[in-house]
């Protein structure tokens, strides 16, 4: 599933290509994509609206228009967004299928937005998981609040003290499943949980309540550090279901059998809470 860096990349692509422009066409090839909150707000109502901004909260994108409906988009596991401007410039992010240079629209294209200067924004999803909600602006805040999202790693409110309190309150839970809980910290997924724990030198099965003050501070720094490393490169690249390295990232995830770049120990993989989990057994010693 796309995580915070990948979704932020999609946000930037849509905003750069289409912010300030008016929608002149909206075609939905798969009606089940849309979960309209107000049944009177159909996708055709987008036509004539001007896109003001594209915002992100955790893994949710909000396309804000100058009139209702507003769009909230979640790529889920296999969503992909492409934007093509009139000069032929093309930016794509999200799932690697279809190929980033494939002709569009494709058989997997579920939504096409056309803007007044000829810019095209496409949403495709080969497995039909992505969802789009049409929402009046007046209830956008309530809608996101109902998702019960925790603070993001970059949120100034996520201080070491607040993180420590959250860990203590969930003391018996294991660290990696807790980091995947969007109500605890929003935006992290399987790749970045592995990367953060490796950066912080913490085993995925450490109990949340077992961290001391120094370890808690390391975890907070690590969550931010791995996102800061991923954002400039557009997040992780997935090929054949596996993350591949760009400029040395990811450093541990999907690198089973390779050497840890910190200590040289062979990286291991096992399953924790149903998720493939990677770690360095030396940098991240198992709890007693």
Q: Which of 11, 45, 56, 59 is catalytic?
A: 59
Q: Give catalytic status of residue 59 as yes or no.
A: yes
Q: Exposure string (b/e) for 200-214, b if CB count within 10 Å is 16 or more?
A: bbbbbbbebeebeee
Q: Give catalytic status of residue 3 as yes or no.
A: yes
Q: Which of 3, 8, 91, 205 is catalytic?
A: 3
Q: Which of 147, 207, 275, 281 is catalytic?
A: 275
> Tokens standing for 25?
């066409």
For the stretch 211-220, contacts whose Cβ atoms lie closer than 8 Å and that sit 24 or more positions apart, written own/partner, are 211/164, 211/167, 211/175, 213/160, 213/164, 216/160, 216/163, 216/164, 216/167, 217/160, 219/163, 219/175, 220/153, 220/158, 220/159, 220/160, 220/163
64 CA to centre of own chain: 19
Q: Between helices 160-169 and 213-230, what is the axis angle to 10°?
A: 110
Q: Which of 2, 151, 204, 250 is catalytic?
A: 2
Q: Give catalytic status of residue 275 as yes or no.
A: yes
Q: Give catalytic status of residue 268 as yes or no.
A: no
Nearest to 114 by CA among 44, 65, 47: 47
Q: What amino acid positions are annotated as catalytic residues?
A: 2-3, 59, 275
């Amino acid at each position: 599933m796309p995580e915070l860096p990948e979704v932020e990349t999609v946000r930037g692509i849509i905003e750069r290509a289409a912010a300030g422009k008016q929608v002149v066409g909206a075609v939905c090839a798969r009606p089940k994509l849309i979960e309209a909150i107000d049944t009177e707000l159909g996708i055709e109502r987008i036509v004539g609206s001007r896109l003001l901004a594209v915002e992100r909260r955790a893994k949710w994108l909000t396309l804000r228009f100058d009139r209702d409906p507003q769009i909230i988009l979640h790529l889920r596991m296999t969503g992909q967004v492409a934007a093509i401007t009139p000069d032929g410039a093309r930016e794509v992010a999200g799932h690697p299928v279809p190929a980033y240079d494939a002709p569009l629209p494709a058989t997997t294209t579920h939504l096409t937005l056309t803007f007044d200067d000829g810019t095209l924004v496409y949403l495709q999803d080969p497995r039909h998981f992505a969802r789009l909600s049409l929402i009046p602006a007046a209830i956008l805040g309530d809608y996101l609040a109902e998702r019960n999202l925790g603070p993001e790693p970059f949120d100034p409110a996520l201080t070491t003290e607040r993180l420590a309190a959250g860990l203590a309150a969930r003391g018996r839970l294991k660290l990696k499943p807790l980091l995947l809980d969007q109500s605890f910290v929003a935006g992290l997924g399987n790749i970045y949980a592995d990367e953060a724990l490796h950066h912080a030198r913490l085993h995925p099965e450490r109990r949340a309540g077992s961290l001391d003050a120094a370890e808690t501070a390391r975890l907070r720094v690590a969550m931010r550090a791995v996102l800061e490393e991923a954002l400039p490169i557009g997040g992780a690249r997935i090929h054949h279901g596996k993350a591949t390295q760009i400029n040395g990232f990811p450093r541990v995830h999907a690198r089973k059998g390779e050497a840890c770049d910190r200590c040289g120990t062979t990286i291991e993989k096992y399953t924790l809470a149903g998720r493939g989990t990677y770690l360095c057994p030396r940098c991240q010693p198992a709890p007693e």
